[in-house]
Amino acid sequence: MTASPLAAHQATLGYGRNVISEDLTVDIPEGEFTVIMGPNACGKSTLLKALARMLKPSTGSVLLDGKDIHSQPTRAVARRLGLLPQSPIAPDGITVADLVARGRYPHQGILRQWSAEDERVVAEAMAATDIGDLANRGVDELSGGQRQRVWIAMVLAQQTPLLLLDEPTTYLDITHQIEVLDLCAKLHREGRTLVAVLHDLNQAARYATHLIAMRGGAVVAEGAPADIVTAETVQRVFDLPCRIIDDPESGTPLVIPSASARV
């Protein structure tokens, strides 16, 4: 594997005495759209939190560009690594443009306030997510799908080559899920390295270029979806008997759970 911009090395992750993962080593490949998947409580969100430096490993380390992420200034990290958490909060009455503009935080300082460059980047981020015409609307008036695009625009305004997204499609209906995933795919094609936690196996198989399957806090399988989405892996990861067929739309693996698999 070539240089990994972001990696966990022999990390112990958990909350207090509740250890989720032990001796976890994960390399995020550069330029790929990595999707982390697995059953509930498999440790996928915990891994993402660790990669985003929201959770410090009790042993081992998380490396950004080969250096311990916790030894780097957090604002410098924020210029390399953007994060869209699961439930971000939109302040009452904030407009779309104001919210997106807050993504410029790591590029500003006491002596370097709002600039023409900030203005340009915010406009670009809103254009890329197709929310330019919502600029002056209140975020609380928007639909769930629009709101998610606003949040993605805010992270884009951060101008980071790496993007982490924690379950970006949760709470969205199917149309908006696809819309958000198509947007992610576009951002990936434009050259960014994406890491997302997704619930839907078939969406993961269709959009990811690199899959990490987890169970019980450990990585069970890792690789291109075509290679690792097999009936055996799905059985091992999810305890789900299934068949795999080719997705007639995309040619990617499609998981069909067996009829009456459970009582």
* Binding residues vs other proteins (CB under 8 A): 52-54, 74-79, 81-95, 97-99, 101-103, 105-106, 108, 110, 113-116, 119-120, 123-124, 126-128, 132-136, 154-155, 158, 164, 166, 190
Minimal distance in Å, beta carbon 108 to other proteins? 7
Q: How far from chain centre, in Å, is Cα 168? A: 7
Residue placing its CB nearer to other proteins in the complex, 158 or 169: 158
Q: State the pairing for strand pair 81-84/59-64.
A: unpaired
Considering the complex, state which of residue 115 and residue 258 has its C-beta at the smaller distance from other proteins.
115
Name the minimum Å distance from CB 106 to other proteins.
4
**Hey, what are 87's tokens?**
């439930």
How far, CA to CA in Å, does 170 sit from each of 80, 148, 167? 25, 10, 6
CB of 47 vs other proteins, minimal distance in Å: 15
Round to whole Å and give the CA distance between 101 and 19: 37
Q: Which is nearer to other proteins, 52 or 255 (CB)?
A: 52
E runs forming strands in the chain: 6-15, 18-28, 33-37, 59-64, 67-68, 81-84, 162-166, 193-197, 210-215, 218-223, 242-246, 253-257
Q: How far is the CB of 57 from other proteins (least distance, A)?
A: 16
Nearer to other proteins, 91 or 251 (CB): 91
